[in-house]
Chains A and B, each alone.
Chain A
């Protein structure tokens, strides 16, 4: 049981480049979410999904895109990277109705220059 896995662990992008952060879970959780963690700001919700084919925006969705074609995978796409997107990104999953108990991946540290 791997839990929630994220790749890559580290990434450096130039302004304007695009990339996809990968997230997968093997717990059959319906709910998946993406957060960014910035110093002094805690975690902020970017996008979330309550099941395959269903996604919605969180608190800070601009500049990010998501899709959920399977229960297991929830990739986060940066369309045109900006220095303001330098952050640590966490993917999390949980059962519906128990989304307070989210299982977090180890994070991806992204730097945009």
Chain B
């Protein structure tokens, strides 16, 4: 079945540091890939997405490139801020049939940015 593997957390960085959170996946079809973010006390929000190989998703300074050859979708940001402190989830959606599209989530990576 489908699965998503994220780097273990927690991750603690200083403000303005470079961020990478690794994500690799296993899927039988042609999945779309996503990063969701969960801020403290809130539900998850879609951060960015990529629907085919070599696509780059970007939002709020975060980027991730869909690499089919390495089955990866690593999240990066050049200069993190305290407000980026949150839990980040990598996810994939593999459409089985119309109306039967399920998200498979990784375990999440907790990121803390210190001033």
Contact = CB atoms under 8 A, between A and B. Distances in A.
Contacts of B105: 42-44
A101 interface: yes
Nearest to B92: A100
B107 A106 contact: no
B44 A90 contact: yes
Interface residues of A, number: 23
A96 B102 contact: no
Contacts, number: 56
Contacts of B103: 43, 45, 99-100, 102
B77 interface: no
Interface stretch (B11-19, B66-74, B93-101): B93-101
A96 B98 contact: yes
Interface in A44-99: 44-45, 48, 50, 58, 90, 92, 96-97, 99
Contacts of B44: 43, 90, 92, 102, 104
Contacts of A21: none
